[in-house]
Amino acid sequence: MIDKVFNNRYKLIEKIGSGGMADVYKAEDQVLERTVAIKVLHPQFANDPNFIARFRREAKAAANLNHPNIVNIYDWGAEGDSYFIVMEYLKGQNLKQIITKEKHLPFAQAVNYASQVCDALYFAHQNDVVHRDIKPHNIIVTPQGTVKVTDFGIARAGASAMTQTGTILGTAHYISPEQAQGHSADPRSDVYSLGIVLYEMLAGEAPFQAETPVAIALKQIKEPLPDLAKINTEIPEDLIKVLKKALAKSPDERYQAATELKSDLALIDQGAKVSVELPSEEKTTILTPGKKPPTEKKKSDKKKRGKKWPAVMASLIILATIAAGMLYSYLAKPQIIVPDVVKLTMEQAKETLLNKKLQMKIIRREYSPHKKGLVINQNPDAESKVAENTVIEVIVSKGLKQVSVPTLYGKSLSSAKEEITKAGLKLGNVSYKESEEAAGTVASQDPAPDEQVSINTAVDLVINKAIEKYQVPSVIGKTSSQAKSILAKAGFTVSAEEQFDSDIAKGKVISQNPNAGTNQPKNTAITIVVSKGPEEEMVSVPSVVGMQYANAKSTLESLGFVVAAEGSGNNVAAQSPDSGQQVAKGSTVTLTLGP
């Protein structure tokens, strides 16, 4: 394969990995001149038409997953009997290599890696892609500590083929109980597999071990989770509770979305307490004080063997059921191509299937971003070939899960974040405003408390911050324009008043409020009082019309007026200002003379 060129573009340089379904090569994209990774499917899958149809559809869906924690798929195609996927080339190690080298990881590092996988899974699930094969081998960690999940699409494409041929046994350590029993996988199946990966990061090995893959699958179905606290004493009790919930045998008792798991992991990372309802298989019976748990009595070897027979028979029955299912799937002669009913209403889906002589069964309803009543998953997948009257299992959307917005007023930002995450929501925009309230606390929130909103809705917060204050400079004795300029530069606004003052020159500042030297918030209005100079004495103008000019002048000057005359004659014909007006002492009175 080395030096082979696919589609006249991708030249294989070296083999860098191999798995149950494909070989991985480092390659050169000769068009864009960049290094890529190419996953070439093993030849046996090219002869399975169901697999190829599913591979094409899922490769397209996976190519649309653009997320920082998902390996980008650039291209896909076929050349001859070789089917391939072109992916982002990454430097780093897969998580299996890291666990093998380190034995087990510090819990903080394990929580960090698992949280990043949660982000990848939630994004994929929101886009109707379920991975179905989450395991350490499919999780790459870059040198910068970024987690990248790979094999979206190829895992789903291979789901049917793996079940029919038995190669599913290669991933038995990470398979969910419902997948082990032949049921369809959904987002909660990925949550279970991630729980197994998290357990392995903490313990150094997956929880369920046996000599054969079928025996491991049986343990996934019926055996309780081994006590991690006995393996790694450094693990916080709350993290063990989170693991037990993620690994519940029943999907209904697990975290219903990857974001729910991430929310609890975030609390653990912060050292906060986590409230987790344990699955039914983890709940223990509380003994009454004084009573002892029942103990086994010594019995004959014959009786011991008799005790074991029911368990042996149960295991054989389960093994026979799984084997029969696989044999039937392998030997059955499919006749009808299953139509795609995803995103149809229940009524439309039922009618579509009946027209193809197929039956429909709703196995459950679950919250999703899709409209209530739409089909969001089906099993068998579209384009599979099945016998007439086969029952097609579907999952129906309940719409987005609604949650109540918590009351956040007065809480610190960190406490508010915790409350938001615990409620299944996410933190939105955070802005700040100056306030007399305690700095760092929530001033307002949107949406409002107790409002019912969809899960993962963003909650915007406004946080109180201390009011910034500035020292008021002194402007007393300054001119009005100087005072306004000084105060404006200091961050204040100015309002001015005027009053008479016999001591302060006209136009200069007499006083200011607030006083100089005090600390005030920015843009506080500073009031300055500006002198109008000494207050003038007001005098009433007497009437001098008709008087001789000499007498009139004498009268006005005795009252402090300045006299001006115009015209000719000896008598006053008119005056200005008129008699009776109040004018300042020293004002000029103009007399008009006449005959």
Residues with catalytic roles? 133
Q: Where are the alpha helices (DSSP H) in 374-512?
A: 413-422, 480-489
Task: Indicate the residue type of 517.
Answer: G
In sequence order, what E strands does 121-183 have? 139-141, 147-149
Edge-to-edge strand order for the sheet containing 93-94? 93-94, 139-141, 147-149
Cβ atoms of 216 and 208 within 8 Å: the answer is yes
Residues 6+ apart with CB under 8 A from 173: 135, 196, 206, 208, 209, 216
User: What are the distances in angstroms from CA 243 to CA 41, 69, 204, 253, 575?
Assistant: 34, 22, 15, 12, 107
Both tokens of residue 236?
């916080």
CA distance 384 to 335: 10
Cβ atoms of 279 and 248 within 8 Å: the answer is yes
User: What does the DSSP 8-state code read for residue 207?
Assistant: S
Residue bearing tokens 């000494």? 534
Give 354-378 as a 3 state SS string.
HHCCCEEEEEEEECCCCCCCEEEEE
Residues 6+ apart with CB under 8 A from 312: none
User: What does the DSSP 8-state code read for residue 514?
Assistant: S
CA distance 346 to 396: 7
- Long-range Cβ contact pairs of 330-333 (< 8 A, separation 24 or more): 330/164, 330/165, 332/386, 332/387, 333/387
CA distance 496 to 491: 16
CA distance 311 to 456: 45
Cβ atoms of 64 and 165 within 8 Å: the answer is no
Both tokens of residue 495?
């309002």
Residue bearing tokens 């200011």? 512
Q: Which of 181, 221, 164 is nearest to 321 (CA)?
A: 181
